[in-house]
Amino acid sequence: MSASPDTDSVDALRSQIDSLQTRVNELEVQNARLSSQLSRCCCQKMEDEVSSAVDGGSVVDGTGKSMNLDKKTRKKKDFKTGILEHHPRRYVALRLMYFGQRFYGFASEAQFDPTVESEIFKALEKTKLLVGDKKKSQYSRCGRTDKGVSSFGQVISLFLRSNLRPKNTDDANSWELSVERDVLDAEIDYVRVLNRILPKDIRVTGWCPVPIDFRARFSCMSREYKYFFWRDNLDIRAMESAGQKFVGDHDFRNFCKMDAFNVHNYRRHITSFELASCDKRLESNELWCFKIKGSAFLWHQVRCMVAVMFMVGQGLESPNVIDALLDTDGTPRKPQYTMAPEMPLILQSCEFQGVRFICSSDRCSASITCALGGSLSNIRTPSCNDS
């Protein structure tokens, strides 16, 4: 094994990385503010150039020519010409729950449909809650779960149409972020409206007004994942010993799917790694889960960590294999091993400072919970022969 680098040099490098990450977050916030200002300027410019006014059944365009439209045509034209962009809007966070079995992941950038994100935007467009397109709405997602992965606490943020107006209509930051009962009654019930349109395996479980510089991805303080498995004959004590080695700040390049094009820093901080019984049994077997909490995660990181943990539990590896894989000097290249299956993985929660989600009338549908419960019999512990 090669000699470890000087401690002072490592600390200095970590400090530089932390400083760069902080600067990146600051630039993201600044970019969000400037994008918001630009969006408002563009809308005002478009309004000045067109200089159109809708008065009863008549539309006066920029040339002064009057056009008479019936109610049906006028309603259709209003939507297609983007007049919804001039409606009152507010920046909100939505908390989502979904069962991922039939989806090709969360993000709509996937090559296949359906995705959770594509279904959400279909519902937003159908309910006419969307203000402009995805870019103009300053959309952000907390994470992009893989194909088959479920969530109880995914969070997205974006501008949505509102029944209310901010005190200063030129400043989206002037919204009152605390929602009183009378304000809640006057505002659009985002939860109820969206859940009436969304498929049953996707539910909105709450919303919250957030500042303009809030971003679901970068404002998230921590994320917690749960991975369910049947205990079988696994050595829980050895797995608990191995799991504690993940806690702290480490380079996880040997526990993820490499994405050299987009990712240049593989250091992540794991706050806690626990194993816990779920108090559910199937015949003589007992359901357990990993509870993994951290500030952020790499692509397939949780499934890779769990895969190595199963090897430890089956006695195929010692708990010390975690130390070896976290030592990127001694193990500079990721060994070949199969990731754990995606079905038992759930994004349990995402934590934000000062964000309290509201669910005014439509509670979480039990359909997803039932579906998850019904799939427990399909969960199994991967063996070393799994392909």
The residues annotated with a catalytic role in the active site are: 146
Site of tokens 């921590």: 222
- Among residues 378, 69, 99, 381, the alpha carbon closest in space to that of 229 is found at 381
Residues 6+ apart with CB under 8 A from 174: 166, 167, 168
Rounded CA-CA distance 120/38 in Å is 26
Q: Which two tokens stand for residue 343?
A: 């079905």
Question: Going by DSSP bridges, is the β-strand pair 89-98/140-141 parallel, antiparallel, or unpaired?
Answer: unpaired
Q: Tell me if residue 224 falls in helix, strand or coil.
A: strand
What 3-state DSSP class applies to 164? coil
Say if CB 339 and CB 227 are below 8 A apart. no
DSSP state of 299: T
Q: How far apart are the first and last CA of the chain?
A: 31
Q: Measured over all CA atoms, what is the biggest interatomic distance in the chain, rounded to whole angstroms?
A: 82
C-alpha to C-alpha distance for 260 and 11, rounded to whole angstroms: 24
φ, ψ at 323 (rounded to 5°): -60, -45
Burial of 256 (0-12, 13-18, 19+ CB in 10 A): buried
Length of the chain: 387
Structure tokens at 64: 């002064």
In single-letter form, the type of residue at position 279 comes to D
69/226 Cα distance (integer angstroms): 56
| 294 contacts 305 by C-beta, under 8 angstroms | no
